[in-house]
Amino acid sequence: MAFLRHVGKHGDRKVAIVFREVPGEPHMCLVVYTELLNRNIHDPLVKCIESDIGQNSKNLADALNRTHTTDGNIILQKLHAEGMLKKVNTELIVMTPAPNTQIKLSELNTILDEMEKGEAAVKKLAEMDSQLGMQDPVQVAKRMRGDMITESATRNEVPAAAPLQASGDALGDAAIANNIRQQAMRMAAEARGLLAESERMLKEADALAPAAPAVSATPVAKKTRGRPKKVAISA
């Protein structure tokens, strides 16, 4: 049997882990008890977990927000509306990705977070090494613009779901808004870093070879040789 993400147990009850970490509460997660679901939700949810989209999603919620129940509702919204999302301490969730394989969700989260930091560091070092420790701001801007266009196109292909409303222990608008603010702050910090790098590169370029003075585009009139012509003055 292949390795399967997003599945585990809370005690003796099977759960699907919808959010590995609740924004602002990394020690808590959001789960749904699969045995309590009716077939309209259960079967599409299981297929979503087993699909490539489900297995490639960091959080199962991302895939569930693009998957529908048999009666046409978005699964994530349906789970929230019916109060099926439950907040549980990650220490109490045991992940069962394969037979004879068990690990606490709290330990798995720590491992995955460290892997993400390591991968980001390795990617950054490789990029700096390929550019001799310097990044071309123009190329960085082009890459950022390309990512934004791709992301925008993806959003246009998939209709945005209505925002979740906060109720009970489910993930609400306040938590989602907080997560968006954190992403915006990281983007702003990256932008400031790019501007600082651009100024440093300009100073380094001036130190190596000062910029040539601007050349006037206005043509200079040629001097004529010989005596100046006499101009007749009328009375």
Per-position DSSP letters for 34-81, written without gaps between them:
GGGS-HHHHHHHHHHHHSHHHHH-SSHHHHHTT-B-TTS-BHHHHHHH
Task: Please tell me which of 102-106, 126-130, 179-183, 198-202 the model is most confident about, judged by mean pLDDT.
Answer: 102-106
Q: What was the pLDDT predicted at 71?
A: 92
**Number of residues written out for the chain:** 235
Q: Label residue 190 by pLDDT band (50, 70, 90).
A: confident
Query: What pLDDT does residue 138 have?
Result: 57
Residues 176/23, Cβ–Cβ less than 8 Å: yes
Beta-carbon contacts of residue 85 (< 8 Å; ≥ 6 apart): 18, 30, 31, 32, 79, 169, 170, 171
Q: Is residue 214 predicted with pLDDT exceeding 70?
A: no
Mean pLDDT of the chain: 76
pTM of the predicted protein model: 0.51
Q: What is the pLDDT at residue 133?
A: 46
Reply yes or no on whether the pLDDT at 13 is more than 80.
Answer: yes
For residues 122 and 58, which has the higher predicted lDDT (pLDDT)?
A: 58
Question: Residue 157: pLDDT band by 50, 70, 90 thresholds?
Answer: very low
Longest dimension (CA), the chain: 120
Which of 1-10, 74-83, 146-155 shows the highest mean pLDDT?
74-83
What is the spatial distance between Cα 78 and Cα 63, in angstroms, rounded to a whole number?
A: 14
Residues 6 or more apart in contact with residue 171 via CB below 8 angstroms? 19, 22, 23, 30, 61, 80, 85, 164
DSSP conformation class of 21: S
Checking DSSP bridges between strand 86-89 and strand 101-104, what pairing results, if any? unpaired
* Per-residue confidence (pLDDT) for residue 198, from 0 to 100: 75
- Count the neighbouring beta carbons within 10 Å of the beta carbon of residue 93: 23
d(CA 88, CA 185): 28
> Residue 18's pLDDT band (boundaries 50, 70, 90)?
very high
DSSP 106-169: HHHHHHHHHHHHHHHHHHHHHHHHHTTT---HHHHHHHHHHHHHHHHHHHHHSPPPPPPPP-TT
Say yes or no to pLDDT of 93 above 90: yes
Confidence label for 81 from pLDDT (cuts 50, 70 and 90): very high
